[in-house]
Amino acid sequence: MKSIALGLGAAIALSALAFLLGDYHNDVYRKLLLWIALALSYNFVFGICGQVTFSHFAFYGIGAYAIVILLFTAAFPLPLAIVCGVALCVALALAVAIPATRLEGFYLALATMAFAQLFIVVLNEGGAITGGTGGLASYRLPPVLGLDLSGRAYTVVIVLVLIGTAAVLRRVDHSWFGRACRAVRDNPEAAAAMGVDVARTKVIAFTLSSVLAGIAGMAYAFVDNTVNPPIFGLENAFLVLFMVIVGGSGRHAGAVVGTVLLYLLPFILSPLIGQHHALVFGVLMVTAILLQPRGLIGLYDRLARR
């Protein structure tokens, strides 16, 4: 009950903010919320289950493209399109994870990176279905139950996607499954001796986090009302990794803090130093890894303990 009240409170507070912001800032805010959702689900597979994957952003793209294609090319009704989009993410995640969990560390990273690259190739070469290099545009979300979900109302939809993602991850993390994931990350051999099926745990964690990325992607499709290949490239896959590491991997709060910082940083730095903000990212990243591997949230813990 306490956690439901907490979720509800957060949903109301985050939604209220949408009505205080102007149109431009609402757009920035919507994207920030989606990045937080992505970082939370990436933190689950990377920070909690200890698997370095680069396919997270590809699943975001798969969700986005799937919902647009299913709604407008295949003319599915919205609920069916969502269900089919989720099913597609599950199927693709399993197809990647089942062979990939036989791989360790470096090789898993490579396999998922290859998958992410393959996805971009498919988007570029997909002809009329994916719209090729130009992607798909000029579509609009049809009214849902008679409601026109655009502008601030759509920000509320995204708030709900974020709260839903956080709630699912929190529940799973505080269960036998979350503990099994951490055990697999820390010591797979000891985890197996405790009865944890290591391969199965990795597959489920990967699939869960990929599906949550896919759902965030579906929500993204109606933020700019356009989807195109460059958005879902590897650059962003690395950015989500940086967000989790800088914030503090393995911690939900860390993912949130890291995302807010790295997402808003360019907005602050660009007027000052232009495109050189990437340099600041790099320095921040190296500093985090060398001096504060537990990230900003670890720094906060240390200061709070004093």
Distance CA 217, CA 204 (A): 20
Our CB check for other proteins shows the closer of 205 and 223 to be 205
Candidate list 127, 195, 271, 274; residue touching other proteins; CB under 8 A: 195
Residues 6 or more apart whose CB falls under 8 angstroms from that of 161 comprise 33, 34, 37, 215, 216, 219
Minimum CB separation of residue 171 from other proteins in Å reads 6
Instruction: Using alpha carbons, select from 91, 86, 84 the residue that is nearest to residue 70.
Output: 84
Q: How far is the CB of 215 from other proteins (least distance, A)?
A: 13
Chain positions 241 to 300 lying near other proteins, rule: CB under 8 A, are 250
3-class secondary structure, 223: coil
Q: How far is CA 39 from CA 23, 74, 209, 237, in A?
A: 24, 31, 10, 10
Q: Which residue's CB is nearer to other proteins, number 30 or number 294?
A: 294
Give the residue, chosen from 10, 192, 261, 280, that forms a contact with other proteins under the rule CB under 8 A.
192
In the window 196-225, what residues touch other proteins (CB under 8 A)?
Answer: 196-198, 204
Q: Which CB sits closer to other proteins, 167 or 234?
A: 167
Residue 6 binds other proteins (CB under 8 A): no
Q: Kindly state whether residue 187 participates in binding other proteins, applying the rule CB under 8 A.
A: yes
Among residues 193, 268, 283, 289, the one that binds other proteins under rule CB under 8 A:
193
Q: Which of 84, 168, 253, 260 binds other proteins (CB under 8 A)?
A: 168
**Whole-number Å distance between alpha carbons of 132 and 230:** 11
Contacts with 46 (C-beta within 8 Å, 6 or more apart), sequence order: 52, 53, 241, 244, 249
> How many residues in the chain?
306
Separation in Å, CA 103 to CA 166, 195, 203 = 29, 21, 12
Cβ 173 to other proteins shortest distance, Å: 10
Tokens of 205: 């964690």
- For the CB of residue 299, give the shortest distance to other proteins in the complex, in Å: 16
Q: List the structure tokens of 215.
A: 């759902």
* 182 touches other proteins (CB under 8 A): yes
Distance CA 288, CA 195 (A): 35
172 binds other proteins (CB under 8 A): yes
How many residues interact with other proteins (rule CB under 8 A)? 25
Residues forming contacts to other proteins in the complex (CB under 8 A) are 168, 171-172, 174-177, 179-180, 182-183, 186-187, 189-198, 204, 250
